[in-house]
C-alpha cells in the first residue's frame, strides 16, 4: 500500500530531522549519498545532523520542479511511504491545501522540551479541517530530557487536552516517545526508554489503514489543442477511471463527447486511472480549460454557491468582497456572500456568528457566490474540494469545500 504521511508541528521541534531519520533507517538512501553528506558535514565541523541531510535533498528536488513542500519516498517492509515536510506556517497552509492534503495520516511532532506551542495548535486545526483522522504523536527530543518518563507523561497530557479540544478521540492515538537525532523508537526500540511498551513510529505507520472506495470519474481539463484535424483535451484524472468509448460531460461548458482515443506520450491506452495525466481525442468543440469531465452516472455539477471553510493569510476579508477562486484548473470570480462563523484557528472555538469581516489567522465558514464552477465536497474528491482565494494576484487564503 502507498501511504501518504504529512509531518506537522511547531518550528524546530524536529520534523526535518525525523524525516531524515526515517529515510536513513529505512535504507532508502544510497550509502554513497550518506557518506557524501557525512563528509560534507565533517568539513563544516558540525555534527552529522539529519536536518542538514534533508536540506541537500531539497536542492535536488527543486531543480526538477518548483516546489515549496518537500515530499520524499521511502519504504518499510510493509508499505511505500510518501512523506511531506512543511516549512513555515503560511507555506504549510498553502501546501496542505494544494499538495499534502490527501494525506492518510498526520504525524504531530512535539518537542519534549517545549511541549505544545502556538503552531502545534494551528497545525492540528488544519489537520482536522482537512479531514485527516489518523494522527500519531511523536514526542521528540527525548534524549534532551534524559529519556525521562515523567517528562513524556507531562507533554502527553498537554497534547491530549489540545487534541480533545479539536474532538480527536485520544484513546486510539499513539503517543510515541522518540529521539529523531539518536534514532530511538523510530525504527529500533528506544534505548533508555524501557518504560515504554507501545509501538515504534514505523510500527504505528505500518498499521495505517485506508479504505478504498470506488469514486466517480473527474477529469480535470488543463489544456486543449488541435492536431491534424483532431481535437485533443489534455488533463488529469483526479478521481475514478476514464475509458475509451466513454461518453463524457464537460462542465461548466456543458459539452458532451465520446472519448475516441486516449493517449500518453504517443501511445494509445484503453483506460486511465486516478492520478494519470493524459490526452484524449474528442469529437465535439466547446471544452475549456477549467472544465471537469465526468460520466452521466455521476456527472460533475457546476455550482454557483457553496459553503467552504477557509483560513485567512491576509490582514482582512470582508463580506461582499470580490475575489478570484481557484479550484483545480478553474479560475473564476467569486464573492464572499456571507461569513457564517469566525473561528479561532488555535483552538477551533467559534468566536462570532455572521461577522462582517475576519482577520489574519482567523478561520471561517463562508458562503461563496461564484461564476459556474465544478467544486466537490472535500471529503469525497479532495482535488476538487480545496481552493485558493486570490486577490490582486496574491493568494490570501485557502480552504476546503464543506457543502454544495
Ligand atoms: P522547522 O522546519 O524550522 O519548522 O523545524 P523542524 O521541525 O524541521 O526541526 P529540525 O528538524 O530542523 O530540528 C530543529 C533542531 O532540533 C535542530 O538543531 C535539530 O538537530 C534538533 N533536533 C531535532 N530532533 C532532535 C532530537 O531528537 N533530539 C535533540 N536533542 N535535538 C533534536
Ligand atoms: Mg524543517
Could you tell me if 14 and 149 lie in one domain? yes
For ligand 1, whether the C-beta of 17 sits within 6 Å is yes
Average pLDDT over residues 40-64: 44
Please identify, among 295, 311, 335, the residue that sits at the C-terminal boundary of a domain: 295
The number of helix segments (H) and strand segments (E) in the chain equals: 7, 24
Considering the domain architecture, whether residues 167 and 46 belong to the same structural domain is answered as: yes
Could you identify the atom of ligand 1 that is nearest to the CA of residue 19?
Answer: 11
What domain range includes position 289? 218-295
* 91 part of a folded domain: yes
The percentage of the chain sitting over the pLDDT mark of 90, rounded to a whole number, equals 52
CATH number, residue 278: 2.40.30.10
Order of strands across the sheet that contains 175-177: 70-75, 80-85, 2-9, 105-111, 134-140, 175-177
Question: Is the dihedral angle over the CA atoms 251, 253, 259, 264 positive or is it negative?
Answer: negative
Tell which one of 11, 16, 142, 176 to mutate to probe ligand 1, the residue whose CB is within 8 A of the most ligand atoms.
16
Mutate to test the pocket of ligand 1, among 9, 12, 177 (most ligand atoms within 8 A of CB): 12
66 in a structural domain: yes
Percent of the chain with pLDDT over 70: 84
Q: Are residues 50 and 195 in the same domain?
A: yes
* Residue 119 shares a structural domain with residue 228: no
15 CB within 6 A, ligand 1:
yes
Whether residue 56 is found in the same domain as residue 105: yes
Q: Does residue 340 form part of some domain?
A: yes
Cβ-proximal residues to 390 (8 Å cutoff; 6+ apart), any chain: 323, 324, 325, 326, 396
Pairing between β-strand 230-239 and β-strand 247-251 as defined by DSSP bridges: unpaired
CB of 181 sitting under 6 A from ligand 1: yes
Q: Which of 295, 320, 335 is the last residue of a domain?
A: 295
269 within some domain: yes
* pLDDT at residue 210, rounded to an integer: 66
pLDDT, residue 48, reads 40
What are the pLDDT digits (tens) for 155-195?
999 999 999 988 887 788 999 999 999 999 999 998 889 99
Ligand 1 pocket check for 21: Cβ under 6 Å: no
CATH at residue 187: 3.40.50.300
Please tell me whether residue 284 adopts helix, strand or coil conformation.
coil
Tell me the mean pLDDT in the region 137-151: 97
Span 42-56, average pLDDT: 45
Q: Is there a domain that residue 377 lies in?
A: yes
Q: Same structural domain for residues 241 and 364? A: no
Does 381 or 376 have the greater pLDDT score?
Answer: 376
pLDDT tens per residue across span 308-365: 999 998 889 999 999 999 999 999 999 999 999 999 988 888 999 999 999 988 999 9
Most confident of 20-34, 47-61, 72-86, 307-321: 307-321
Residue 336 shares a structural domain with residue 398: yes
Atom of ligand 1 nearest to the CA of 140: 27
Mean predicted lDDT score pLDDT of the chain: 85
Task: Assign 130 a pLDDT band (cuts: 50, 70, 90).
Answer: confident
Selection from 40-44, 247-251, 360-364 with the highest mean pLDDT:
247-251
Is residue 4 lining ligand 1, measured as CB closer than 6 Å? no
The verdict on 226 and 361 lying in the same domain is no
Q: Is the pLDDT reported for residue 401 higher than 80?
A: yes
Strand spans (E) along 171-265: 175-177, 218-227, 230-239, 242-243, 247-251, 255-264
Please say whether the beta carbons of 374 and 301 come within 8 A.
yes
Pick from 295, 323, 349: which residue ends a domain? 295
What H or E segment, with its residue span, contains residue 308? Answer: strand 302-312
130 and 200 part of one domain: yes
Matching residue, cell 484503453 = 270
pLDDT at 86 > cutoff 80: no
Which is higher by pLDDT, 276 or 160? 160
Q: Which residues contact 157 (CB under 8 A, 6 or more apart)?
A: none
CB of residue 121 inside a 6 A radius of ligand 1: no
Tell me if 211 is assigned to some domain: no
Residue 213 within a domain: no
Same domain, 306 and 284: no
- Residue 38: predicted pLDDT: 53
Look up residue 193 and give its three cell numbers: 526508554
Residue 210 falls inside a structural domain: no
Co-location of 57 and 179 in the same domain:
yes
Q: Tell me how many domains the chain contains.
A: 3
Ligand 1 geometric centre to CA of 12 (Å): 5
Strand partners, 108: 8, 137
Pocket test for ligand 1, best of 89, 180, 191 (most atoms within 8 A of CB): 180
Domain match, 189 and 271 both: no
- Give the global pTM: 0.69
Amino acid at each position: 500500500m502507498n501511504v501518504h504521511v504529512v509531518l506537522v508541528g511547531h518550528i524546530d521541534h524536529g520534523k526535518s530531522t525525523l524525516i531524515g531519520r526515517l529515510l536513513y533507517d529505512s535504507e532508502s538512501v544510497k550509502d554513497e549519498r550518506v557518506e557524501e553528506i557525512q563528509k560534507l558535514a565533517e568539513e563544516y565541523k558540525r555534527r552529522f545532523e539529519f536536518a542538514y541531510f534533508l536540506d541537500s535533498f531539497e536542492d535536488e528536488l527543486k531543480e526538477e520542479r518548483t516546489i515549496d513542500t518537500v515530499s520524499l519516498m521511502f519504504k518499510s517492509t510493509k508499505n511505500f511511504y510518501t512523506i511531506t515536510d512543511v516549512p513555515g506556517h503560511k507555506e504549510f497552509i498553502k501546501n496542505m491545501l494544494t499538495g499534502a492534503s490527501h494525506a492518510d495520516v498526520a504525524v504531530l511532532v512535539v518537542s519534549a522540551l517545549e511541549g505544545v506551542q502556538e503552531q502545534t495548535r494551528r497545525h492540528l486545526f488544519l489537520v482536522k479541517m482537512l479531514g485527516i483522522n489518523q494522527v500519531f504523536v511523536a514526542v521528540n527530543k527525548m534524549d534532551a530530557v534524559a529519556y525521562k518518563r515523567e517528562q513524556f507523561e507531562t507533554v502527553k497530557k498537554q497534547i491530549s487536552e489540545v487534541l480533545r479540544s479539536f474532538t480527536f478521540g485520544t484513546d486510539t492515538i499513539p503517543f510515541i516517545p522518540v529521539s529523531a537525532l539518536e534514532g530511538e523508537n523510530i525504527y529500533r526500540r528506544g534505548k533508555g526508554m524501557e518504560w515504554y511498551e507501545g509501538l515504534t513510529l514505523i510500527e504505528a505507520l505500518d498499521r495505517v489503514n485506508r479504505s478504498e472506495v470506488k469514486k466517480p470519474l473527474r477529469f480535470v481539463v488543463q489544456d486543449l489543442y488541435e492536431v491534424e484535424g483532431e481535437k485533443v483535451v489534455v488533463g488529469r484524472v483526479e478521481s475514478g477511471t476514464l475509458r475509451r468509448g466513454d461518453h463524457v460531460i464537460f462542465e461548466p461548458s456543458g459539452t458532451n463527447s465520446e472519448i475516441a482515443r486516449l493517449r500518453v506520450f504517443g501511445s494509445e491506452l484503453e483506460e486511465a486511472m486516478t492520478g494519470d495525466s493524459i490526452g484524449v481525442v474528442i469529437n465535439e468543440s466547446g471544452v475549456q480549460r477549467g472544465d471537469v469531465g465526468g460520466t452521466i452516472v455521476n456527472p460533475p455539477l457546476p455550482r454557483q454557491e457553496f459553503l467552504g471553510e477557509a483560513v485567512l493569510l491576509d490582514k482582512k476579508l470582508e463580506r461582499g468582497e470580490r475575489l478570484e477562486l481557484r479550484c483545480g484548473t478553474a479560475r473564476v470570480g467569486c464573492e464572499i456572500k456571507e461569513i457564517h462563523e469566525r473561528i479561532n484557528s488555535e483552538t477551533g472555538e467559534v468566536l462570532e456568528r455572521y461577522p462582517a469581516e475576519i482577520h489574519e489567522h482567523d478561520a471561517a465558514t463562508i458562503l461563496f457566490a461564484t461564476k459556474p464552477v465544478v467544486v466537490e465536497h472535500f471529503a469525497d474528491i479532495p482535488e476538487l474540494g480545496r481552493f485558493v482565494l486570490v486577490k490582486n494576484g496574491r493568494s490570501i487564503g485557502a480552504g476546503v469545500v464543506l457543502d454544495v
